[in-house]
Amino acid sequence: MRYVDEYRGEAEAQRFANAIRQCVTRPWTLMEICGGQTHSIIRYGIDQLLPPEVSLVHGPGCPVCVTPVELIDRAIALARVPEVIFTSFGDMLRVPGSTTDLLRAKSEGADVRMVYSPLDALGLAQQNPGRQVVFFAIGFETTAPASAMAVWQAAEQGLRNFTVLSAHVLVPPAMEAILSAPDNVVQGFLAAGHVCTVMGTWQYEPIAERFGVPIVVTGFEPLDLLQGLHMVLTALQQHRAGVENQYRRSVRREGNVPAQRLLDRVFEPCDRQWRGIGTIASSGLRLVPALAAFDAERRFDVRSVTAEESPECIAGSILRGIVKPVACPAFGTRCTPERPLGAPMVSSEGACAAYYRYGRTGRAIASTEPRTPRARPRTTPRTSDP
């Protein structure tokens, strides 16, 4: 039983759309943080239900998209170490590094394996004591607890052949970086329900207060998003800042406290580079010193591998909401899902992939799926966006 039809009703959607049209009296620019929200908005045409005064821009909440090319190159360098079994979620395999990607490295002999969970990678380490198993730990606060659990269990079991390449990132520092930028256009946020299911909403309260913005936590179904948009626009029209929770069926202010405690035991904040955006202070997670033996970058010393982002890919501007994917000169021509130049065109959560897939191109490019498709079971393991 899926319990999703209740959140896709057309009559309710029109009711929220009418309420939004009635409440808006001036231009507003809103950002949905999460790539999953972006895909729902584009897939169901939610942005097209909004009055022309409301502009939606797409945030940095696609973990594949924000993983810098330098870390992809380090992942490829690790995968090419002869004794290494390199494990990753499926959507990282085709993300371009500076010269190649993990899938090509695999075709050239590297032992790269797709896993559905860090615990699958841990199992490989248990089954292959003569090999070194590295897990590419990417994602936001949603996937970090599973990585933390794998490291915790590896430590408890005394496994010496399991490490993680941590690319985990955190949402609140990215929101602060967006709001602090001199060219910021964002006036209100839709925050991601699954991140807040883990972390709660309390982390967003200081951001709303400091920057005077409304932040509404939403789910991912059409009615979740429309209700969240109505809430954030109502707050803006009434000059209210603060955090509101549309996704009450999953999110509590305190979040999942045991998961947060596990994260604190295994990881600590660190400065992290974001693809196309640059380094954001305290926006990443690295292993605490007591668990540094499980850090793949230390064990295999790949930190000397550096790389520059492709000058052709404007993902940074898209991930900060400055422009939309169709503004990229390479969109749909030199950059397609089959031949991607940048991560947002590869990832199942990427904004460029969403625009391409659902025909938001501004020119004739065949969509790979009908405009209003039904949800299909997920078949490729992927990272969880925020």
Residues that bind ligand SF4 (CB under 6 A): 312-315, 318, 325, 328, 330-331, 335, 341-342, 344-345, 352
Cα 137 to the chain's mean position, in Å? 13
CB of 68 to ligand SF4, least distance (A): 13
Pick the closer one to ligand SF4 by CB: 168 or 324: 324
Residue nearest to ligand SF4 (CB): 342
Task: For residue 187, give the amino acid letter.
Answer: Q
Pick the closer one to ligand SF4 by CB: 173 or 325: 325
Pick the closer one to ligand SF4 by CB: 228 or 350: 350
Pick the closer one to ligand SF4 by CB: 59 or 219: 59
Q: Tell me if residue 50 falls in helix, strand or coil.
A: coil
Pick the closer one to ligand SF4 by CB: 150 or 315: 315
By CB atoms closer than 10 A (0-12, 13-18, 19+), residue 11 is exposed
CB of 69 to ligand SF4, least distance (A): 11
* Rounded-to-integer distance, Cα 63 and Cα 245, Å: 23
CA angle 150, 155, 160 (to 5 degrees): 100
Pick the closer one to ligand SF4 by CB: 60 or 342: 342
Beta bridge partners of 34: 61
Instruction: Count CA atoms within 13 Å of residue 178 on its CB side.
Output: 30
Element (H, E) at 6: none
CB of 35 to ligand SF4, least distance (A): 13
The label of the residue with tokens 């002999």 reads 109
CB of 182 to ligand SF4, least distance (A): 21
User: Which parts of 233-345 are beta strand (E)?
Assistant: 242-245, 267-274, 278-287
Pick the closer one to ligand SF4 by CB: 78 or 346: 346
Instruction: Count CA atoms within 13 Å of residue 180 on its CB side.
Output: 11
User: Which parts of 73-159 are beta strand (E)?
Assistant: 84-88, 112-114, 132-139
CB of 356 to ligand SF4, least distance (A): 8
* Rounded-to-integer distance, Cα 257 and Cα 175, Å: 22
Element (H, E) at 229: helix 222-237
Burial 259-295 (b: 16+ CB within 10 A, else e): bbebbeebbeeeebbbbbbeebeebbbbbeeebebbb
**Structural contact between residues 352 and 95, judged by C-beta atoms closer than 8 angstroms:** no
- Considering all CA atoms of the chain, what is the largest pairwise distance in Å, rounded to the nearest integer? 66
* Rounded-to-integer distance, Cα 202 and Cα 172, Å: 11
CA angle 304, 68, 259 (to 5 degrees): 105
Pick the closer one to ligand SF4 by CB: 199 or 328: 328
CB of 22 to ligand SF4, least distance (A): 35
CB of 246 to ligand SF4, least distance (A): 29
Pick the closer one to ligand SF4 by CB: 276 or 386: 276
Pick the closer one to ligand SF4 by CB: 191 or 328: 328
CB of 42 to ligand SF4, least distance (A): 14
CB of 224 to ligand SF4, least distance (A): 26
CB of 148 to ligand SF4, least distance (A): 30
